[in-house]
C-alpha cells in the first residue's frame, strides 16, 4: 500500500492474510459491524458482517483535519440555504421542470411555506463526502463529492470499526500504526443532536420516530443511534410511510400522532429516492409530517438544500458570499473543497458544459438529482446520454462535475461470498455534522465523526448499501 499505509510486504504475506481474514470477520461480528442478509433482510435470525477492508487505508492527516474543520461551516451553510426561499426557488427552477421527484418535493415545500410556521426548532444531521484529488504535479487536495442532508448512513457502524482494525493491526504485529487510527463515535454525536431537539420540543412522553424503509438490511446502523437515545431515556419507534399514513394524524395544534403516540422528531432514514414513495399514500404521509409540529430531520427545505443542483449553484462566483457576507475566511475554507461544477441549464453556460463533456467525457461525471449511490454516469456513457438530450431541457435534470483522480492504494475487501484478493482501491471520506437551531439561535453545531468507504477501482460508482464500497478506517499518515 503506497502513500504511508501498510507496507507491501505485509499485504503480500499470504500466510498472514489467510490468518487475518478469519480473525477480522470474527472481530467484526464481535463488535457489531453487522448487516442482515440479502435473502432475509427483515429477519434478525440471520446476520453477517457488514463488508469492510482488512486493513485501514491511508489518508493524509492534514486533509483529514481540513475536512473535519470545515464541517461546522457546511452545517451553517445548509441551514442558511434552507431558510432562503428565493434562492431555492431560483436555483431549482429549471430542475423541477424536468425532474419529477424534485418537483414533488418542491410542491410540498411550497405548500408548507404558505402555512404559518409552527415549529421553530430545526435539526440537521448531514454528511459531507470527499475524495482526495491528485493533480498532475502530484499534489493531493480535498474535494467535495456531495453533501447528504437526508438519511446520511453508517454513523452507527463506523462507530465500531476502529476497534476492528486496531485488533487486526495488533495480530499483524503492526503496533506502531495503532495510534494512527482515531476514536470515532458518530452514533453518539448524531444522537446528541436528536436528543437536544427532543429536549427543546419539551414533552417527555413524545417519541423520536425513525422513518424507515421496508427493506431493513442496514438496521444495525440505525440501532446504534437508537440505543444512544434509549440510554438517555428518550423513547424511539420505527415506522414506514404506509404506517404513518394509516395511523398518523394532526391535532388542532398540528402535533403529530402515530399509533396514538405524540411524535417529537421524525428522523428520516427513508424518503431520499423516488422508489421510497411506493404510492400516493407515501407522498401524503410526507406532506402530513412536513405540516406537523414535529421536528423534521431533515425538514423539506433542508432536504432540497442537499440536491446536486444546489451544490452546483454554490460553486458559482459570488454565491457563497450571499450566505456569509462578512466571513471571507469561511467562504475561502468552503470554496477550497469544491471541485469544478457546471450547469447544464439551457443557454450559453450549459452549452459550453455540454461541449466540454462531449469532447472529453473521461474528465467529467454526470450527476442526476439522486441520493443513495449508483446513479452517476461516467466515461463513454456520458457522451451517449448527452447526445440524446443535448438540445433538450431534459439535460437540466443533471449537473456536470470534474472527475476526481484519487491516488489508488492496495487493500483486501472482505465481502461475503467473494474470494479474498489484493485489490487496487479508491476511498471516499465522509464527515458527519449535527446542528440544532431554535428560532435564530444555533444551540448546537458540531462535527460529530467520520466515515471512510473504500471500493475497487474497477467500480466507478456506488456505496456500501449499494453493494460496491465497503467500510474502512482512515490510517492517518
Answer yes or no: is 130 a known binding residue: no
Rounded Cα distance, 385 and 395, in Å:
9
Torsional sign, CA 235, 241, 247, 249? positive
d(CA 294, CA 118): 9
Which pLDDT value is given to residue 160?
Answer: 98
Mean pLDDT of 458-463: 63
Mean pLDDT of 17-33: 98
Q: What is the mean pLDDT of residues 115-134?
A: 94
Sign of CA dihedral 339, 77, 435, 462: negative
Split at pLDDT 50, 70, 90, the class of 295 is very high
| pLDDT (average), residues 106-111 | 98
What Rg do the C-alpha atoms of the chain give, in angstroms?
A: 22
Catalytic pick from 160, 367, 383, 395? 367
Task: Please confirm, yes or no, whether 148 is among the known catalytic residues.
Answer: yes
Catalytic residue among 296, 308, 383, 395: 308
pLDDT per residue as tens digits for the range 66-97: 999 999 999 999 999 999 999 999 999 999 99
> How many whole angstroms from its chain centre is CA 311?
14
CA separation for the pair 470, 423 (Å, rounded): 12
The per-residue pLDDT for 172 is 97
Among 22-26, 90-94, 299-303, 393-397, whose mean pLDDT is lowest?
A: 393-397
| Chain centroid to CA 165 | 23
The reply to whether 438 sits in an annotated binding site is no
Active site residue 153: yes
3-state helix, strand, coil in the chain (%, to 5): 40, 25, 35
Confidence of residue 460 (pLDDT cuts 50, 70, 90): low
- The pLDDT value given to residue 112: 96
Q: 470: closest CA among 68, 78, 28?
A: 28
Q: What percent of the chain has pLDDT over 70?
A: 97
Q: According to the annotation, is 218 in a ligand binding site?
A: yes
Instruction: Give pLDDT, residue 406.
Output: 92
pLDDT at position 2 over 60: no
Average pLDDT, the chain: 94
461 is in an annotated binding site: yes
Q: Is 453 a catalytic residue?
A: yes
Nearest to 366 by CA among 381, 352, 351, 355: 381
Asked if residue 271 lies in contact with residue 56, where contact means CB atoms within 8 angstroms, the answer is no
For the question of residue 127 being annotated catalytic, the response is: yes
26 annotated as belonging to a binding site for a ligand: no
Name the grid cell of 91: 436555483
Q: Pick the catalytic residue: 371, 427, 445, 463?
A: 371
pLDDT at 1: 47
Q: Which residues, in sequence order, are CB contacts of 304 under 8 Å at separation 6+?
A: 82, 88, 92, 102, 105, 106, 109, 310
Per annotation, catalytic residue among 148, 184, 185, 445: 148
User: Which of the residue ranges 55-69, 262-276, 454-468 would you say has the lowest mean pLDDT?
Assistant: 454-468
Angle at 64 (CA atoms; ends 60, 65), nearest 5 degrees? 120
Average pLDDT over residues 110-133: 95
What average pLDDT does this structure show over 253-262? 97
Q: What is the pLDDT of residues 415-438, one digit of tens each?
A: 998 999 999 999 999 999 999 999
Domains and CATH numbers, the chain: 8-339+404-476 (no CATH), 340-403 (3.30.1490.50)
Q: Which of 340, 372, 462, 467 is catalytic?
A: 372
> How does pLDDT run across 320-369, given as a tens digit for each residue?
999 999 999 999 999 999 999 999 999 999 999 999 999 999 999 998 87
Is pLDDT larger for residue 475 or for residue 118? 475
CA distances from 458 to 8, 419, 462, 469, 475 (A): 21, 16, 11, 11, 23
The answer to whether 170 is annotated as binding is no
Asked if residue 2 belongs to a known ligand binding site, the reply is: no
Residue among 59, 206, 39 at smallest CA distance from 140: 59
Query: Is 421 marked as binding a ligand?
Result: no
Is residue 97 annotated as involved in ligand binding?
A: no
Catalytic-residue membership of 372: yes
User: What does the pLDDT average to over 180-197?
Assistant: 98
123-132 residues labelled b (16+ CB within 10 A) or e (exposed): bbbbbbbbbb
Q: Give percent above pLDDT 90 in the chain.
A: 90
Cα–Cα–Cα angle for 46, 52, 58, nearest 5°? 165
Which range, of 1-10, 33-42, 99-108, averages the lowest pLDDT? 1-10
Q: If you average pLDDT over residues 208-223, what whole number do you get?
A: 97
What residue spans of 175-240 are helical by DSSP H?
186-201, 219-231
Question: What number of other Cβ atoms are within 10 A of residue 446's Cβ?
Answer: 16
**pLDDT score of 368:** 87
Q: Is 239 a catalytic residue?
A: no
**Residue 41 — pLDDT band, cuts 50, 70, 90?**
very high
**Contact, 202 vs 296, CB < 8 A?**
no
Over range 287-296, report the average pLDDT.
Answer: 98
Give me the pLDDT at residue 117, please.
80
User: Hunting for cell 394532526 — which residue is that?
Assistant: 250
Q: Which of 127, 143, 166, 437 is catalytic?
A: 127
| Per-residue pLDDT, 458 | 80
Query: Rounded to whole angstroms, how far apart are CA atoms 174 and 187?
Result: 28
* Confidence bin at 462 (pLDDT 50/70/90): low
Q: Which residues make Cβ contacts (< 8 Å) with residue 467, sequence separation at least 6?
A: none
**Distance from C-alpha of 169 to C-alpha of 183, rounded to nearest angstrom:** 15
Torsion of CA 366, 369, 373, 379, to 10 degrees: -10
Rounded Cα gap, residues 400 and 382, in angstroms: 10
Residue 462 in marked binding region: no
DSSP character at residue 339: P
- Give the active site residue among 146, 177, 226, 290: 146
**Measured between alpha carbons, how far is 192 from 91 in angstroms, rounded to an integer?**
32
Distance in angstroms (rounded) separating the CA atoms of residues 439 and 443: 10
Flag whether 270 is marked binding.
yes
Amino acid at each position: 500500500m503506497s502513500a504511508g499505509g501498510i507496507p507491501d510486504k505485509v499485504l503480500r504475506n499470504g500466510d498472514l492474510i489467510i490468518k487475518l481474514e478469519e480473525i477480522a470477520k470474527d472481530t467484526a461480528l464481535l463488535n457489531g459491524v453487522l448487516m442482515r442478509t440479502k435473502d432475509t433482510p427483515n429477519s434478525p435470525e440471520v446476520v453477517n458482517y457488514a463488508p469492510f477492508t482488512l486493513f485501514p487505508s491511508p489518508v493524509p492527516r492534514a486533509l483529514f483535519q481540513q475536512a473535519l474543520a470545515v464541517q461546522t461551516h457546511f452545517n451553517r451553510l445548509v441551514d442558511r440555504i434552507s431558510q432562503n426561499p428565493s434562492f431555492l426557488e431560483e436555483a431549482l427552477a429549471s430542475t423541477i421542470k424536468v425532474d419529477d421527484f424534485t418537483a414533488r418535493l418542491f410542491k410540498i415545500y411550497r405548500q408548507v411555506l404558505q402555512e404559518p410556521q409552527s415549529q421553530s426548532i430545526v435539526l440537521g444531521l448531514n454528511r459531507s463526502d470527499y475524495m482526495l484529488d491528485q493533480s498532475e504535479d502530484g499534489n493531493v487536495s480535498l474535494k467535495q463529492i456531495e453533501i447528504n442532508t437526508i438519511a446520511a448512513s453508517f454513523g452507527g457502524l463506523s462507530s465500531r470499526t476502529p476497534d476492528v482494525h486496531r485488533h487486526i493491526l495488533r495480530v499483524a504485529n503492526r503496533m506502531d500504526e495503532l495510534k494512527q487510527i482515531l476514536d470515532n463515535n458518530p452514533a453518539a454525536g448524531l444522537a446528541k443532536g436528536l436528543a437536544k431537539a427532543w429536549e427543546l420540543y419539551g414533552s417527555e412522553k413524545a417519541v423520536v420516530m425513525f422513518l424507515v424503509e421496508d427493506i431493513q438490511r442496514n438496521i444495525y446502523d440505525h440501532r446504534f443511534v437508537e440505543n444512544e437515545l434509549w440510554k438517555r431515556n428518550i423513547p424511539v419507534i420505527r415506522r414506514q410511510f404506509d404506517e404513518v399514513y394509516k395511523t398518523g394524524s394532526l391535532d388542532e395544534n398540528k402535533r403529530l400522532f402515530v399509533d396514538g403516540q405524540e411524535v417529537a422528531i421524525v428522523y428520516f432514514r427513508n424518503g431520499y429516492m423516488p422508489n421510497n414513495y411506493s404510492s400516493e399514500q407515501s407522498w401524503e404521509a410526507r406532506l402530513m409530517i412536513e405540516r406537523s409540529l414535529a421536528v423534521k430531520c431533515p425538514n423539506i427545505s433542508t432536504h432540497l438544500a442537499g440536491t446536486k443542483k444546489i451544490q452546483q449553484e454554490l460553486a458559482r462566483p459570488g454565491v457563497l458570499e450571499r450566505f456569509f457576507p462578512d466571513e471571507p475566511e469561511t467562504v475561502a475554507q468552503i470554496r477550497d473543497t469544491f471541485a469544478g461544477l457546471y450547469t447544464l441549464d439551457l443557454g450559453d453556460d450549459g452549452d459550453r458544459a455540454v461541449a466540454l463533456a462531449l469532447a472529453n467525457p473521461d474528465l467529467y461525471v454526470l450527476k442526476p438529482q439522486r441520493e443513495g449511490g449508483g446513479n452517476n454516469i461516467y466515461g463513454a456513457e456520458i457522451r451517449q446520454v448527452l447526445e440524446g438530450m443535448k438540445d433538450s431541457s431534459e439535460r437540466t435534470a443533471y449537473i456536470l462535475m470534474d472527475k476526481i483522480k484519487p491516488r489508488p492504494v492496495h487493500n483486501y475487501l472482505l465481502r461475503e461470498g467473494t474470494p479474498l484478493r489484493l485489490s487496487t482501491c479508491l476511498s471516499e471520506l465522509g464527515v458527519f455534522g449535527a446542528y440544532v437551531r431554535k428560532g435564530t439561535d444555533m444551540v448546537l453545531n458540531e462535527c460529530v465523526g467520520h466515515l471512510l468507504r473504500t471500493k475497487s477501482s474497477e467500480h466507478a460508482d456506488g456505496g456500501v448499501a449499494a453493494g460496491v464500497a465497503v467500510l474502512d478506517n482512515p490510517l492517518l499518515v
